[in-house]
Every structure is written in C-alpha cells, then in structure tokens.
Amino acid sequence: MASRNSPVPYFPIPPAQYDPQYFAEVVRSFTVFAQQTTNPGPFRATELTLTQSTGNVDRGQMAWNSDEETVDMTMGDGVVQQVGFETYMRVKNDTGSQINNGEVVGFVGVNGEIKVAPYIANNTANELYFVGVATHDMPDQDIGPVTLYGKVRGLDTTGPGAETWNVGDILYVSPTTAGLMTNVRPTAPNAVIAVAAVLTVDATDGEIMVRPTVPIGLDYGSFDATVDQTLVAINTATAITLTNTLVSNGVTLSASPNNSRLNVAEAGYYQIDATLQLTSTSASPKNIFFWLRKNGTDVGDSTRAVTVDLNSGFLPISLNYTISLAATDYVELYWAANDTNVLLDALAASAFAPSAPSVLVNVSQLQL
C-alpha cells in the first residue's frame, strides 16, 4: 500500500445559513488540495510490488528475480546486481587495454576514480591492493562495478591451459599470469589469496561465487655466508657478514661493504634466528661473544657468550632474538673473542654429507 506524504485538506462544516467566511474557507481548502496535487511530496510505501523480468530492465530500474528471490537492480554496462547478495566497488580501467569479465583486479591509484588493473599474486604482490573480480568487460577508460562479494556469470570455468576446474573448486589469484585465477594453491614466496569457488562449469556460461580471503603476508628472509670469517684482533667488535640471499620477501641484504645489514621494508615484531659454525684452532680456552645491533647501535641484553677449548673441532652456535623494528630499520650480528684462534668455518661437501655455511640467518616477521 502506497501513499504520499500529503495531509487531507480540511473542509469546514457547512453552516445552517449563508456565511461568507464559510465560502472563504472552502476556497482555501481547494487551493491547498491543488497545491498538494501539483507537488505531492515524497513517496511512502508499506508494500512494493515489482514485475518479474527474464532479462535486464532499463538502467536504474528494478525487477523481482524469482530464481534468486531478491531484487535485481540494473546498473551501468548492463550489470545486474542482486540486491543484498552482491557487493560492488565503482572503479576505472585506465590500463590502455580491456579488462575482461572474470579477471581479477587490484588497486593501482586514484585519479578522480579508483583505478584498477589485472592483479598478480607473485612474491612482490601487496595483498592490501587486491580488490575483486571484474563483473563485465571493461574497455579502456570505462568506469563501472567490480564484484567484491557475490556471483560472477558468463565465464569460461573449464579452467585455463592444462587445468581442469570442477564444481566446488577453490580458485586462487594466479601467481604467474595477471588477471587469471587458478585451482592450484600457490606456495611461498607467492601470495596466497583465495578469491572464489566454482558454482557451474561451462565454456561460456560458467559461474563463480566471489568471496575473497586475503591473508596479510608476513615478511621473511633467509641468508647465509659460504666463506670463512676470522677475527683480526682480540676483544674487537667485528661484523658477521653474509654472502647469499636464499629467499626474501620484504627482508633484504645490503650490498658489500655493508653486507652484514639485514633491512626490513615493513614495521613489525621480528624474530631473528642464527646458526654459526664455530671452529677453534688451538686447545687454549677462548671466550667468544655474539650480540645484536640495530641501526648501528648495540641492543641491550643481547650478548651470548661461550667458552671453547677445542683444537680443530666444531661447535655449532644458535642465537635467537625477538625485536620490534620500524620500516627501513636494519639489524646486524657482531662477534668478538679474547683469542684470534677461532673462526666461523664454512665446510666443504664431503663424500657423505653436503656443504655447510659458516653462518645461516633467518629473519621472520611475527606480527605487523
């Protein structure tokens, strides 16, 4: 039932005999009624009846969708939103090429509109820039909606390349091809973003359910040194250097001569684990000290000491630290001893065992 926000005009009660005031009030009432008819005010309704439509209605109009049991709202570019079941973001394609229906997109900037481009989840991807899935073909410079949550239809859901997709498969953002999805879960150091599930399989009319799960990736790095390291003087602080980056995501090793510095790109709480292969070349007792520096300054209570009296023996040393770091901070490991007849020894491969680095350091972000 619908009504306008218009009060019913007041009509005076007719008098028993002629009264000029009565006629004045009647004229006033009709004047008010005419004004309300011309400008009735906002529409109010307790019920809204919509016709069913098997196809898109005009842009900006609504129809009842009996299959989804909700209201269809026709938007720009022929996109039909199932109200309450789908969520969109208005974006602009400023890439110079068309973004196809079903391509995964990410944030690339703002210029009056939020700009997007095909997104790739490789080891350099910023998970925070993931947006959603294009819900229609977007020519260059087109402005329209992309799906953050809900169904995307009219796709080839048989699987790209050698992949075979099945109903119920979880789809991830591809780490190798921008804009594509894969049913093969990526592995580190690539980003792992579960973006959708396959609802129907078809070469042209497939359907997926977009419901992204975007974990915030934590930074890490693994580094080693494959050369021996010695002390040139007793009781002298000496930086422990590293020569190789084994794996890196947000943690980097500075180039020589600063190749003792491990730099972090993001602020957070970090764990630093180091293993050192220590060798003594004489039987006299030696006191050896290891500690941590942050941005060139010794970290309090970080010294670890060991006494060694081995002659040509090996002693593995394990160090563990947790520390809060700001973006662009760096850390270093230092060592010193009261005798120079010690070294961090890189072992060559033998007939029965592989080689070993003199130093192995792992840096892991525990918390943002």
pLDDT in tens, 321-364: 999 999 999 999 999 999 999 999 999 999 999 999 999 999 99
User: Domain 220-367 maps to which CATH number in 3.30.450.40, 2.60.120.40, 1.20.210.10, 1.20.1250.20?
Assistant: 2.60.120.40
The answer to whether 336 and 289 have CB atoms below 8 angstroms apart is yes
pLDDT of residue 129: 94
Tell me if 132 sits within 8 A of 210, measured CB to CB: yes
Q: What is the pLDDT of residue 358?
A: 97
Can you give the residue ranges of every domain in the chain? 86-213, 220-367
Q: What is the pLDDT of residue 310?
A: 86
pLDDT < 70 positions in the chain: 1-12, 36-37, 40-57
Contacts of 282 (CB under 8 A, 6+ apart): 311, 339, 341
pLDDT digits (tens, 9 = 90+) for 208-257: 999 998 887 789 999 999 999 999 999 999 999 999 999 998 999 999 99
Residues 6+ apart with CB under 8 A from 277: 314, 316, 317, 344, 345, 346, 347, 356, 357, 358, 359
Instruction: Output the pLDDT for position 197.
Output: 97
Measure the CA–CA gap between 145 and 152, rounded to whole angstroms: 12
- Cβ atoms of 344 and 229 closer than 8 Å: yes
pLDDT at position 2: 46
Q: How far apart are the first and last CA of the chain?
A: 54
Q: Is the peptide bond before 189 cis (omega within 30 degrees of 0)?
A: yes
